[in-house]
């Protein structure tokens, strides 16, 4: 085992890679011969970027098998925010803090974001002469955005499979008529379009190998937060395949990633029209409450009456407005 030390993560310097042919070989064969091990052990500078799973070699009778050793990943931005909010609510902040994150006035925006995601994904596909119809869809994350995405895809007559790590969300998806999958692997099987709406690394490096040939992958948030694309360059050749579409290909497998894995709807302005004013008005109402100095230290939300007043005012101005 001492000769394997150069492969261990502690010895790896960030950003260096195994050679592409070597990774391909390891990934495809999942086992290497003794002469190859000797060769590998002498390649002290073939390292793996953070986030990908490292393969370590173990003796198994007369050949060597490979075992996966996960490298700790830095938290995503969404995870950092969730952790900060969790701490904030537990620690009882020393000053008043207003949250509008879960306001019902944000629901219209979230719903319309989901619709804009499908619009943009479809526009990109059509831009290269392809269409959504006839493809099976997979939506990962059935939260506010993902559920809206799933509904629009369903309305376009696509067969939609949903996967969410939260069992409650899965029951909601089932009740709304979606097929659910018990794992992301099952969800991806046969899907021709995959939309990731978790903000929490829906697709990790290994998952890409499970994509159907020719599948399109889109995200609703920053690529870093949703797709572990960093390690793919060592396994796949990446080439442009239309406006804002990248084709990843290796022997016998290829798929497409939209907008470099970033929120696809940002390509078309992510517009939600005048509905954005609802939550902006609630932010102003919260700011006014803070400025008036009324609230005690701690986490606050605007009350129902304030929200109803904002909604009623919005309706007076915008209902029926072009």
Read off the tokens for 29. Answer: 């064969």
CA 175, CA 138: separation in Å to the nearest integer? 17
Residues 6+ apart with CB under 8 A from 6: 41, 43, 44
Q: At its nearest, how many Å lie between ligand NAD and the CB of residue 177?
A: 18
**Which C-beta is closer to ligand NAD: that of 103 or that of 250?**
103
Q: Least Å distance between CB 148 and ligand NAD?
A: 8
Taking the least distance from each CB to ligand NAD, the nearer of 130 and 225 is 225
Q: Which is nearer to ligand NAD, 20 or 206 (CB)?
A: 206
CB of 73 to ligand NAD, least distance (A): 12
Nearest approach in angstroms of CB 256 to ligand NAD is 19
Residues 6+ apart with CB under 8 A from 291: none
> Least distance from C-beta 262 to ligand NAD, angstroms?
9
Residue 161 in contact with residue 179, Cβ under 8 Å?
Answer: yes
- Nearest distance, CB of residue 145 and ligand NAD, angstroms: 3
DSSP code for 108: H
Residue with smaller CB distance to ligand NAD, 18 or 111: 111
Residues forming contacts to ligand NAD in the complex (CB under 6 A) are 78, 110, 113, 140-146, 163-166, 169, 197-202, 220-221, 225, 263, 265, 270
Determine phi and psi for 151, rounding to 5 degrees. Answer: -65, -45
- Give the chain's end-to-end CA distance (angstroms, integer): 71
> Helical H runs in the chain?
20-29, 34-41, 77-91, 107-127, 144-155, 167-175, 184-188, 223-226, 232-235, 276-291, 304-318
Q: Which residue is nearest to ligand NAD (CB)?
A: 143
Nearer to ligand NAD, 80 or 315 (CB): 80
Give the nearer residue to ligand NAD in terms of CB position, either 110 or 260: 110
């Amino acid at each position: 085992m001492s000769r394997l030390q150069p492969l261990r993560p502690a010895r790896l310097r960030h950003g260096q890679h195994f050679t592409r042919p070597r990774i391909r070989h390891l990934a495809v064969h999942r086992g290497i011969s003794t002469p190859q091990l000797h060769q590998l052990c002498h390649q002290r500078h073939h390292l793996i970027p953070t986030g990908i799973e490292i393969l370590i070699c173990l003796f198994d009778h007369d050949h060597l098998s490979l075992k996966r050793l996960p490298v700790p990943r830095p938290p995503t931005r969404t995870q950092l925010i969730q952790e900060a909010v969790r701490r904030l609510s537990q620690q009882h902040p020393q000053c008043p803090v207003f949250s509008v994150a879960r306001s019902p006035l944000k629901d219209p925006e979230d719903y319309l974001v989901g619709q804009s995601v499908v619009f943009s994904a479809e526009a990109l596909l059509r831009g290269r002469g392809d269409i959504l119809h006839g493809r099976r869809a997979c939506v990962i994350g059935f939260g506010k955005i993902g559920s809206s995405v799933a509904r629009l895809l369903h309305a376009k007559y696509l067969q939609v499979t949903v996967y969410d790590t939260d069992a409650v969300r899965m029951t909601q998806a089932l009740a709304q008529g979606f097929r659910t999958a018990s794992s992301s692997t099952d969800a991806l099987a046969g899907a021709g379009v995959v939309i990731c709406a978790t903000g929490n690394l829906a697709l990790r490096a290994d998952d890409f190998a499970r994509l159907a040939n020719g599948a399109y992958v889109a995200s609703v948030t920053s690529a870093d937060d949703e797709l572990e694309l960093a390690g793919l360059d060592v396994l796949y050749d990446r080439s442009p395949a239309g406006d804002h579409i990248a084709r990843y290909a290796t022997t016998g497998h290829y798929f497409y990633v939209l907008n470099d894995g970033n929120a696809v709807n940002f390509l078309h302005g992510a517009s939600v029209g005048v509905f954005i004013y609802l939550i902006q008005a609630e932010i102003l109402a919260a700011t006014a409450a803070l400025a008036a100095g009324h609230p005690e230290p701690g986490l606050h939300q605007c009350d129902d009456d304030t929200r109803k007043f904002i909604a009623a005012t919005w309706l007076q101005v915008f209902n029926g407005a072009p």
